[in-house]
Amino acid sequence: MTNFQRLYDESEKTKVRFIGFTTDDVRYDFGIIYTNMFFGKPLVVCMQTGCSTLLDTDDIHDYDHLKKIFRLKSEKEAIDLAAFFEESLPVSYFETQYD
């Protein structure tokens, strides 16, 4: 058996929001998991593809990242999704734990 060093093992009660919506072109179904882990960034899961990422308001305008992570077909889809996340994700404020 391989030795390993556990870095963390946390349990917490979390808030999860499931939301489905459409644009003119695409239907989306997401789960947004609000947690105290990950520097306050919510874990966003696409329920259609299983793709997930940590997102905050600073990340959502990286359209290339959104296209890659959520397998979007166009920049327009990324812009539409960013507009949704801008209204749906909380502003996160955190202090880094590493110097």
Residues 30-55: tens digit of each pLDDT = 999 998 888 888 999 999 999 999 99
| Whether pLDDT at 93 is above 60 | no
Q: Let me know the angle formed at the C-alpha of 96 by 43 and 38, rounded to the nearest 5 degrees.
A: 15
Strands 52-54 and 15-22: unpaired
| Whether pLDDT at 98 is above 70 | no
Residues 52-81: tens digit of each pLDDT = 999 988 889 999 999 999 999 999 999 999
Q: pTM of the full predicted structure?
A: 0.80
Q: What single-letter amino acid sits at 60? A: I
| Whether pLDDT at 13 is above 60 | yes
Hey, where are the domains in the chain? Answer: 15-87
pLDDT at 99: 47
pLDDT at 30: 96
